[in-house]
């Protein structure tokens, strides 16, 4: 990946892909590049999109919940609608067991 793209104002999709790939790997190849994904003006969009993908993908959700790089609970506290969706998903998953 071309890391200089992460710094461009309109590269939201690129920052999402880079951050998500890093979270799925659960280790950083470049900690500064990973941090930039959450320091740009579209920080909320990046985080919200990653959380939304976690609701659609069990693999992504598991990576988010087990990540050593991010704190999913801290992220969810800023997005009550997604927090509720994660909670409902977890509750309905436990009901099936």
Under a CB-based contact definition with an 8 Å cutoff, are residues 48 and 14 in contact? no
Give the number of domains in the chain.
Answer: 1
Task: Kindly report, residue by residue over 37-96, the tens digit of the pLDDT.
Answer: 999 999 999 999 999 999 999 999 999 999 999 999 999 999 999 999 988 877 776 654
pLDDT score at 13: 96
What confidence tier does 3 reach under pLDDT thresholds 50, 70, 90?
confident
Under a CB-based contact definition with an 8 Å cutoff, are residues 64 and 22 in contact? no
What confidence tier does 6 reach under pLDDT thresholds 50, 70, 90?
very high
Residue corresponding to tokens 């909670």: 87
How far is Cα 75 from Cα 78, in angstroms, rounded to an integer?
6
Mean pLDDT confidence for 23-34: 95
Is pTM beyond 0.85 here? yes
Cβ within 8 Å of residue 53, ≥6 positions away: 20, 60
> Residue 91: which domain range?
3-96
């Amino acid at each position: 990946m071309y890391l200089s793209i992460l710094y461009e104002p309109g590269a939201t999709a690129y920052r999402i892909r880079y951050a998500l790939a890093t979270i799925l790997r659960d280790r950083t190849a470049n900690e500064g590049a990973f941090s930039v994904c959450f320091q740009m003006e579209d920080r909320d969009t990046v985080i919200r999109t990653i959380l939304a993908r976690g609701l659609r993908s069990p693999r992504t959700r598991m990576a988010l919940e087990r990540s050593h790089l991010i704190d999913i609970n801290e992220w969810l506290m800023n997005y009550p609608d997604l927090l509720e969706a994660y909670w409902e998903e977890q509750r309905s998953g436990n009901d099936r067991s």
